[in-house]
Chains A and B, each alone.
Chain A
Amino acid sequence: DAGITQSPRHKVTETGTPVTLRCHQTENHRYMYWYRQDPGHGLRLIHYSYGVKDTDKGEVSDGYSVSRSKTEDFLLTLESATSSQTSVYFCAIRRASSGLNTGELFFGEGSRLTVL
Chain B
Amino acid sequence: AQSVTQLGSHVSVSEGALVLLRCNYSSSVPPYLFWYVQYPNQGLQLLLKYTSAATLVKGINGFEAEFKKSETSFHLTKPSAHMSDAAEYFCAVSEGAAGNKLTFGGGTRVLVKP
In this complex, the interface size class of chain A, counting residues with CB under 8 Å from chain B, is: 20 to 34
- Residue A84 CB within 8 A of the other chain: no
Total A-B Cβ pairs within 8 A: 64
A55 to chain B, nearest CB (A): 12
Partner of A31, one of B45, B51, B100, B103: B100
Q: Given the known inter-chain contacts A43-B90, A43-B104, A107-B43, please indicate yes or no for A102 contacting B9, CB distance below 8 A.
A: no
Residues 58-114 (chain B) with a chain A CB within 8 angstroms: 90, 92, 94, 96-107
User: Min CB distance, A73 to chain B, in Å?
Assistant: 18
Q: How far apart sit A33 and B92, CA to CA, in the bound complex (Å)?
A: 15
The residue on B at minimum CB distance from A109 is: B43
- Docked Cα-Cα span, A94 to B107, in Å, equals 21
Name the interface residues of B1-57: CB closer than 8 Å to any CB of A: 4, 6, 9, 32, 34, 36, 42-46, 49, 51
Chain A residues within an 8 Å CB radius of B96: 103
Provide the residues of chain A in CB contact with B34, threshold 8 Å.
Answer: 103-104
**Interface residues of chain A: helix, strand, loop or mixed (majority):** strand
Q: State whether A42 touches B105 (Cβ < 8 A).
A: yes
A43–B93 Cα distance when bound, in Å, is: 12
Which of B32, B45, B98, B105 has a CB less than 8 Å from the CB of A102? B32
B100 A44 Cβ-Cβ under 8 A: no
User: In the complex, are the beta carbons of A45 and B105 less than 8 A apart?
Assistant: no
Q: Is the CB of B46 within 8 A of A104?
A: yes
- CB distance B43 to A48 under 8 Å? no
Verify A45–B101 contact, CB threshold 8 A. yes
Report the separation of the CA atoms of residues A42 and B97 in the bound assembly, to the nearest whole angstrom.
Answer: 23
